[in-house]
Amino acid sequence: MSRDQDCRVKLVGNSEQAEIGQFLDPASKIILLTDLPKALAALRRPLVFTNGVFDILHAGHVHYLAQARALGGSLVVALNSDTSTRLLGKGPDRPINGEGDRALVLAALQAVDLVTVFSEQTPLAVLALIRPDMYVKGGDYDIEQLAETRLVRSWGGTAQALPFVEGRSTTGLLTRLRSSRVAS
């Protein structure tokens, strides 16, 4: 069977989603902000939303995203663009991986139903566009202090902080890598 015969294309939202054999092309889960309304209509509810840089994906991220997905019918991840990541002051060399690579890695995770990229310092505009049923952040954030929490609650949604996985952070990983490089 040729690759063309094995590749079936179906429309989801306003993006083409290629299925190769029984495997979904992860890139089909990356949606432009302009295409979000149509793509969101195809997702199961309740809709859970989270956001972040997800620079070097590690076990803490995977655990967190799986927990977030378990809270609803679908999980949408809004990814900080490269520009947005620099606005957060994470360091002059961040992000390590570009937004396209980070989006593709996230989209490949079974827990993630849709990925979109935003360029602002906070996801307030994309959050207002998506209007999820639940907003989720890691336990290293004070959920009650976030403007995102107030926004989601304004339309009757909920917000929840998930437990932080100790010893699992991109910043900690980079610190260990840099210190081992200096030592050698």
Mean pLDDT by runs of 10 across the 184 residues of the chain is 29 40 80 95 97 90 95 98 91 90 97 97 96 93 95 98 74 67 61
pLDDT tens by residue, 76-90: 999 999 999 999 988
For the chain, domain boundaries: 34-183
Beta strand 23-24 pairing with 15-20: antiparallel
Q: Is the pTM of this model over 0.75?
A: yes
Class of CATH domain 34-183:
alpha beta
Q: Which two tokens stand for residue 56?
A: 């070097």
